[in-house]
Homo-oligomer: A and B are copies of this chain.
Amino acid sequence: MQVAHLLYDRFTALDIVGPHDVLGRLPGVEPVFVAERPGPVRNDSGTMAIVADRALEEVPAPDVIVVPGGFGTRLLLEREPLLAWLAQAHRTSTWTTSVCTGSLLLAAAGLLDGVPATTHWLARERLASLGAQVVNERVVHDGRIVTAAGVSPGIDMALRLVELMAGPEAAQAIQLGIEYDPAPPSDAGSPETAPAAIVDAVTAAFRAREAELTAGSHTA
């Protein structure tokens, strides 16, 4: 079972590595990292690069598609080679998935019109404006499409996907293998439970970064 992990300039690394390190532990899975061009692709802070081993056209019909989020998504909402690949690959995929703002790309490719889906909590309005039916949950599963909220929920999404593909015992074995018995230091992991001052500070920083990134772009 081929699992295509999509890379693009300014992706968020944990969005794609979380699902990879869960799905890749399922027997029979063949992960492949793809991008418009093979080679190193840098993340959204520019601090690390993951190698795309294949070009999009070399992986036309993966069984599973995983699309990470990242500030780079804002520059790709009209990016034809990538969106065309997503739309085409989705025709034959068993599962099409996203983490964080990766759902913006699924929506831009026309895959989420009226479809229940989620994204990073700070991109919910943007996702709705692209036609999705936004649901404020950590993982949303609708037909062949599974979307996760921002960054770390990719791990939960992938475990859900393993359950759907191979049953609960397979998911439990992987959960144990990665010791996913999480112990967050506080209940600040959701905008619904975090202190208001923290929500405001994170919102301001996110908006500033988004504006900075798209300032020089005509697709902003």
Listed in ascending order, the chain A residues whose CB lies under 8 Å from chain B are 5, 12-14, 17-18, 20-21, 24, 30-33, 40, 45, 47-51, 53, 120-121, 138-139, 149-153, 155-156, 159-160, 163, 168-169, 171-173, 175-191, 193-195, 197-199, 201-202, 205-206
Contacts and interface: CB of A to CB of B under 8 A. Distances in A.
Contact of A17 (B14, B150, B201): B14
A111 B175 CA distance: 30
Interface residue SS majority, chain A: mixed
What's the number of copies of this chain in the assembled complex? Answer: 2
16 contacts: A14-B178, A17-B17, A17-B48, A31-B48, A48-B51, A150-B177, A151-B179, A152-B178, A156-B184, A159-B184, A171-B186, A172-B186, A173-B188, A173-B205, A175-B184, A176-B202
B175 A189 contact: yes
A17 B24 contact: no
